[in-house]
Structure 1
Amino acid sequence: MTSDLAAVVGERLRTTRRDRGLSLAALAEQAGIGKGSLSEIENGSRNATLGTLYALAGALGVPLATLLAERVGAEVASPGISARLLETQRLETGVVEVYLLHLDAGARHESPGHGRGVVEHLLLTRGRAAVGPVRRMTEVGVGETATWESRGRHRYRALGDGPVDAVLVIRSCG
């Protein structure tokens, strides 16, 4: 994450937290991160990982793209995984976010639930992966898709010896 993006994310995070009437300590507790870490992220002095941003977005009840200020090209990562925002559309029925997702060879990533009415659609463009809810993961190859409600924890796992690339569409209703 660039320092410019870190500053924008921090500002969006602080504004959204205050709009929700949450203290720094309350949001940190709900997201399962340290209060000091949250303060550093809000001040733009610390880069948040993809996992941390998803935890914060979930605790605030907003799509990840909201914290990224809907900046096309914004990229966030955690070890072994990265997501680059390609597009966001705000519709009367909710929000649609489109990401380019990359997993390094052998990478495993677990994402927290994103709330009710959130559905993920993944189209694999390279490699082979197991994706979806923790107890119902689906294997997909190039050109194949998987769709799941992401209310609960879900995983992305690169299978085989190579990296995985995919287009991930997240649809939030309401």
Structure 2
Amino acid sequence: MTTLLREVIGDVLRQARQSQGRTLREVSDGARVSLGYLSEVERGRKEASSELLSAICGALEVPLSRVLSDAGESMERLEQAAPRPVGPASTSNIDLSTRVVIPHTVSMAVA
């Protein structure tokens, strides 16, 4: 199964908070976000906006660039460790169980 970026970012944020010995309450107060929502972000269940990530990083006193860099490195390790798909899916990294319908573009002439 594919690891989602929001899960990796959540892990990075949790590790930063725990390494500082801080509670969810302390960080949520500093970021001005609900404790429950911060918990959901850390667990990778909610996709944080760039504004929210910036607020959380500010409360943690960790640069957003560091969080994104750490998340990127973690994603790279996970991708390298994951087994490579075989068959038609091997040419793209698309989960074939996900079906998305993209409508055709329609050109409209203006008279």
Matched residue type, 1:37: Y
Q: Secondary structure at the match of 2:56?
A: helix
Residue of structure 1 equivalent to 2:4: 4
- Could you tell me the TM-score, scaled by structure 1's length? 0.38
* Mapped contact 1:17–1:23 kept (Cα < 8 A): yes
2:47 aligned with 1:36, yes or no? Answer: no
Equivalence for 1:48:
48
SS of 2:47's partner is: coil
In structure 1, the residue matched to 2:91 is none
SS at match of 1:38: helix
Residue 169 of structure 1 is matched in structure 2 by none
State the identity %: 36
Aligned to 1:71: 72
Could you tell me which runs of 5 or more consecutive residues in structure 1 were left unpaired when the two chains were aligned.
73-174
Q: CA deviation at 1:63?
A: 1.0
The answer as to whether partners of 1:9 and 1:67 remain within 8 angstroms in 2 is yes
Q: What TM-score do you get using the length of structure 2 for normalisation?
A: 0.59
Q: Deviations over 1:117-154 (max 9, x none)?
A: xxxxxxxxxxxxxxxxxxxxxxxxxxxxxxxxxxxxxx
More helix as a share of residues: 2
Give the superposition deviation at 1:71: 2.1
Per the alignment, residue 60 of structure 2 pairs with 60
TM-superposed deviation, 1:65: 2.1
List structure 1 runs of 4+ shifted beyond 4 angstroms.
Answer: none
Change (3 A) 1:70 1:15: closer
Unaligned runs of at least 5 residues, structure 2? 74-111
Aligned residues: 72
Q: Is the 8 A contact 1:12 1:66 kept in 2?
A: no
Match of 1:21, SS state, is coil
More strand by share: 1
1:19 maps to amino acid? S
Residue 70 (structure 1) shift: 5.1
The match for 1:19 is 19
Shift of 1:21: 1.1
